[in-house]
Amino acid sequence: MSEFGAAQHALLRKRYASEKRFRRVGGAAVLTALAALALLLGSVLWRGVPAFFEQRVRLEVLLDEAVIDPDGLRDPISMAEANYAGLLKDALAAQFPEVSGRSEKRALVALLSAGAAYDLSDYVRANPSQIGQTISFEALLSDEVDLLLRGAGGREVAEGTRRLSDAQLGFIDALAERGLVRHAFAVRMLQTGDSREPELAGVLGASAGSFWTLLTTLALSFPLGVAAAIYLEELAPKNRWTDLIEVNINNLAAVPSIVFGLLGLAIFLGFFGLPRSAPFVGGMVLALMMLPTVIIASRAAVRAVPPSIREAALAIGASQLQTVFHHVLPLAMPGILTGTIIGMARALGETAPLLMIGMVAFIVDVPSGPLEPATALPVQIYLWAESAERAFVARTSAAILVLLAFLVLMNLTAVLLRNRFERRW
Amino acid sequence: MRFLTKITSRGVNVFYAEKQALFDVNLDIPKNQVTALIGPSGCGKSTFLRCINRMNDVIVGCRVEGKLTLDGADIYADDVDVVALRARVGMVFQKPNPFPKSIYENVAYGPRIHGLASTRADLDEIVIRSLERAGLFGEVKDRLHDAGTSLSGGQQQRLCIARAIAVSPDLILMDEPCSALDPIATARIEELIAELRESFTIVIVTHSMQQAARVSQTTAFFHLGHVVECGDTAQIFTDPHEKRTRDYITGRFG
């Protein structure tokens, strides 16, 4: 027998040293990853949070009956067509009695957002009894004013190179000095669809589009994927055909998503003539894209169920299908759900295939069903990111925040579902 | 013959793909007795056991030739329903394999899928009676809705026995039921086997010759896929006719 001597102790020290080194490298890797995540989240939050706030100016608006409802019929449709912009214009001009020129007046009115008139119209329709009175109304200011008041406006650059003129800067400063400008939470960000005006654009349209798309994806790919996995794993004979199918599924999982988009364009839109820009079609395309992932994850989960459970069920006289549905599937469910959620998360962030089937259109309305034209969150991010208006930078980051919130929500659901299934006795 | 025959095997050959696992097995398994199948590892005794309830069907490439009858009816006939056969032939495995469900659900599962109980009360009765017969009821009566997997190994194996007898089979196959258990749990199962013999025919595969001698009335010795000798347990262990049997039971090989 050999001695455990000095040489062995030296070797032992070396082994400990290498272990320590490995731990440090691992720790450093995790820290780097965390730092990168913090940087990413920090930058998105920094840019995105301002989009959830807007600037308003409080004006004394005379709800002139002669303008709003000259016939006195209180008919909501004709009332909606009244010149509310003119009322606001008068109210704003009242703040600056010294302004008289046409172009100066136009510059003053340009401070207001186009949305202010719609807001006033909505207000009047909700409160018809106030027609004829002078009310205190908070009018939405335009995106450029918002940027300026947030300190991102670029006051320092020369007049010709910025969107607001010196005169307009003077108006804003005067309004702010009089305490009429207010910074408020922008509920409309969560209540509206897309818009050409950054201060009016919201994420609800894209979120609803994403919701209908993913609902279709889940409804199609989950049952199909699980059924395919069960068939291949438990029921199908093992022969050359099933081997071929397996190889194909594995390859499909690696196919770039845009290819599925092209397939959807050719088959669903071209051949079957389904509507463009519909979340239902987007969901079908994403379901095709997700199926391989779901099948592979489900097969792995089904395979991981111990054979002794199958034997126990078969030996007691359960049919093969009963064995699968009563015993194998419940045990495989946590794994299947994990795989499905990973696939869904990927589908949620997918842009390319949706571009191919027309979900990239400019759509203002919030879709109320899977067949109405819509866009999706990642596509909305892409659209806003390439918009010219500077205020869309904040909207882009805000949409990313909403997308991330959806992701977290989905993962949370997955964890909860998994725990529920694991504890089911 | 002094006994009724439950299972008859005539010229049974079993192949796993190209490899032959059993050669021309001729065996009579008597009713309401315990028949032990002994032999060294890989001799085909488990294969034979799994032929009786056709658990070999699920193994790809497994082929059974010859005639195997249960109460005179061919087990491998075309019109035999495997599910119905397995309801008549219960099985207990080497490693306890309760379902990851409650103790109650483990026992109730068989009667439920076979429609043996029409009311909840009937089902309760079957479950309780089965647990009692498996000698487990006293230990678990206060926690029937706990997980079956929370029991000890010996209790789990008795739960598996309760699960098997809950569907009132004629025959129980046991594939080394005690090999994963400690001596006390083993003794408990052996007692149980002796009690169950009154109502069931039992075929047990075991590696322990002492166990075979203790629990069985008939013993068959398998070697390399052949039945070397089959007969009265006392005779096999005291006065074997074959040299190979004698060598095995005296510990020269195996």
Alpha carbon distance B153, B109 (integer Å): 20
Query: Is residue B179 within 8 angstroms of chain A, CB to CB?
Result: no
Per-residue model confidence (pLDDT) at position B2: 52
**Residue of chain B nearest A331, judged by CA positions:** B100
* Contacting residues of A for B91, CB less than 8 Å apart: 311, 315-316
Q: Which helix (H) or strand (E) holds B157?
A: helix B153-165
pLDDT of A228 over the 80 cut: yes
Alpha carbon distance B155, B140 (integer Å): 9
pLDDT in tens, B91-143: 999 999 999 999 999 999 999 999 988 899 999 999 999 999 898 999 998 99
Alpha carbon distance B25, B211 (integer Å): 23
> H-type helices in A253-376, by residue range?
257-264, 279-303, 307-315, 320-322, 329-348, 352-356
Pairwise CB contact (< 8 Å): A314 & B102: no
Output phi, psi for B65, to 5 deg.
-115, 165
* Contacting residues of B for A326, CB less than 8 Å apart: 109, 113
Tell me A270's DSSP state: I
**Residue of chain B nearest A330, judged by CA positions:** B100
Contacts of A36 (CB under 8 A, 6+ apart): none
pLDDT in tens, A316-338: 999 999 999 999 999 999 889 88
The band of B3, judged by pLDDT with boundaries at 50, 70 and 90, is low
* Contacting residues of B for A311, CB less than 8 Å apart: 55, 91, 93, 97
Weakest mean pLDDT among A172-181, A278-287, A326-335, A412-421: A412-421
Per-residue model confidence (pLDDT) at position A2: 67
A73 contacts A60 by C-beta, under 8 angstroms: no
Query: Is residue B58 within 8 angstroms of chain A, CB to CB?
Result: yes
**Residue of chain B nearest A320, judged by CA positions:** B83
pLDDT in tens, B69-95: 999 889 999 888 999 999 999 999 999
Its ipTM equals 0.90
**Residue of chain B nearest A235, judged by CA positions:** B58
The band of B1, judged by pLDDT with boundaries at 50, 70 and 90, is very low
Provide the mean pLDDT of chain A: 90
Query: Is residue B50 within 8 angstroms of chain A, CB to CB?
Result: no
Per-residue model confidence (pLDDT) at position A425: 44
Q: What angle do CA B131, B136, B141 make, to 5 degrees?
A: 80
Output phi, psi for B6, to 5 deg.
-90, -50
Alpha carbon distance A76, A125 (integer Å): 6
Contacts of A257 (CB under 8 A, 6+ apart): A289, A350, A352, A353
Q: Of B53, B25, B48, give the one whose Cα is nearest residue B171.
A: B53
Per-residue model confidence (pLDDT) at position A75: 83
* Contacting residues of A for B101, CB less than 8 Å apart: 425
Categorise residue B72: left if φ over 0, alpha if ψ from -120 to 50, beta otherwise.
Answer: left
pLDDT of A270 over the 70 cut: yes
Per-residue model confidence (pLDDT) at position A309: 92
Q: Of A392, A421, A316, give the one whose Cα is nearest residue A144.
A: A392
pLDDT of A419 over the 90 cut: no
| CA distance to partner chain B, nearest, from residue A296 (Å) | 22
Give the count of Cβ contacts less than 8 A between chain A and B.
66
